[in-house]
Chains A and B, each alone.
Chain A
Amino acid sequence: MKTAELKLDLFEMLTRLFITLAPWVRRTSLMAAMVLFLFALIPGGVQATWNLSVDGDARYRLTEWEEHDADIHLVGASVRKTFSDNKGDRLILFGLVEAEDNFSDVMLHEVYGQYKGPMGAWNITAGRFGLPWGLLPGFSASRLLYDMPHGAVLGMNVDNGFMLSGVNGPLDYAASITQGYGPRGTPDDLNLSLGTARIGFTPGDTEEFSIGVSAAVGKSIRVHAADPNGDADMNMDKDSALQRAVGGLDATLYLGRWLGRVELSAGRVDHRSMTAGFAAMDYALLPRFDLNFAANLVWHGSEFKDEWFAGFTGKPPWFTIRGGYRYAGNSPSHHEVIFQLYRLFSYNL
């Protein structure tokens, strides 16, 4: 059995790269990331395995057929360390740092510890983690060219708190109690104000079909990242916190060369009715070429927002290239053409 080896040279290189490329990095986020990496380097007396992943997302946009720009949309770095006792995997530590918009915004997107029960029947997670809602446990559009409605439904897709989760045969469950500030706010008070839960069912042997039912009740911030005035350091006072009581259904289906995902949500947000629908479909047209379609619709009171996407994903040997056209019906910019170059590195140590 292997014990974890300290890769100080690799992490030192990554740290220097981070500091060199991003002199305008927010100090607090960087310090938090450093603490995470240092903690991950501490060898325990038990056996441990590592996973280190880095991904880069560069994009070009043409907006309203006139304005164009290119940037490093996002660079992410994650480290995952699994400690095992003599019976099995016991403790997982995970951290994900993301730098967005040409490294102008660095955020500790996820950082948590998870204590695993036997055979995953129950797991206790504490920290900042993805919320157990809808498609989120198995799918994220953060690296894709379209959005999902979680900002409108929950206010965010990751939050700080505690979660109990597990798998039992075809059923999987998760329930969390979190602060409701998302990844950009960690108040001193524990103040757990948002409860979220999901039960999933995956029948059959090949896991081609899965469905889930979700619910969320409580209070959370208005949007994922910042308030409308652009201030990310917001307090969840009565003007910025929204009361939420929502339910959701989700489904994923692999059908030959088709892959479909659907998520429907409904309830009350900010004392007004809210309904959201998301659907995405991928079709393997060629061995290394997919067609992608997505729709993201939100009704909130009398407000309606719609977003439609059609595009492609190409997978040459070195990287992934995506492109497409996005139409936003109720937005200052209706038309957008986007191209993305994406690359992922992942190592187990």
Chain B
Amino acid sequence: MKSYFSFIVCFLIIFSVSPGSAQDIYLCVWRNPERTMTRIFPDARDYKTVNVRITPAQRKTIEEIVGYELLPGQQDQFQYFEMTDEKGQVIGTIIPSTQKGQFGAVEFVFGLDADLVVRDLYIQRARERDQSFKDRSFLDLFAGRSIREKMSFDQLYTGEPTPGTTAVITGLIKAMVAFETLVATDADL
């Protein structure tokens, strides 16, 4: 009886938190990030993790621009990495992004140089039926593109849209909008 009582009490506590904090959270869980970081920024000597809180007003701004509600786990915080040189000067930014695919999350990483131009983009982990979104020919569509062009990224791909390609394009735009809203200054843009 004691074990059942404890189970019920704890069950109610654990599952009483609002859905905003619930299990369906798309967090960027990134193991061994240095491996991909050095591919995008081979000239970087170190990196710094930055977490930025998203205020309700900022979240509203981001959602109005992208046209949909941010995913749980991405509504309150934005994480990115500053890539630094030997002197500690920031030479670029790495942003991990997660977007809902058809069979779970599509995780990818992209880098912005000091001029906020896409350096490169790599898919980290995804379990999609159609794997065409992992092709370099698709990912290279975005390399060399400026953050100012982000809202036209969906027009760069002229092939048959798949859940994977849509997730990458949507996630890329969303991450750039968030970065622009939360981090980039007018001078950067």
Contact = CB atoms under 8 A, between A and B. Distances in A.
A340 to B, nearest CB: 12
A21 to B, nearest CB: 7
Interface in A296-346: 315-320, 341-346
Given A102-B10, A315-B23, A284 B127 contact: yes
A259 B32 CA distance: 19
A86 B86 CA distance: 10
Given A86-B88, A256-B129, A319 B46 contact: no
A119 B77 contact: no
Given A21-B10, A344-B23, A202 B48 contact: no
Contacts of B103: 257, 284, 286-287
A167 to B, nearest CB: 5
Interface residues of A, number: 60
B148 interface: no
A344 B25 contact: yes
Nearest to A49: B51
B31 A284 contact: no
Given A206-B124, A206-B134, A315-B23, A56 B49 contact: no
B17 to A, nearest CB: 7
Contact of A318 (B10, B22, B38, B126): B22
A260 to B, nearest CB: 11
A238 interface: no
A349 B61 CA distance: 21
Interface string B116-153: 00000011111111010010100000000000000000
A314 B59 CA distance: 29
Interface stretch (A65-73, A126-134, A153-161, A216-224): A65-73
A318 B76 CA distance: 17
11 contacts: A2-B51, A49-B51, A70-B4, A72-B11, A75-B14, A121-B34, A138-B31, A172-B32, A254-B126, A284-B104, A342-B23
Given A317-B24, A348-B51, 11 more contacts: A2-B51, A21-B13, A72-B6, A72-B11, A87-B84, A121-B34, A318-B19, A318-B24, A341-B15, A344-B23, A347-B77
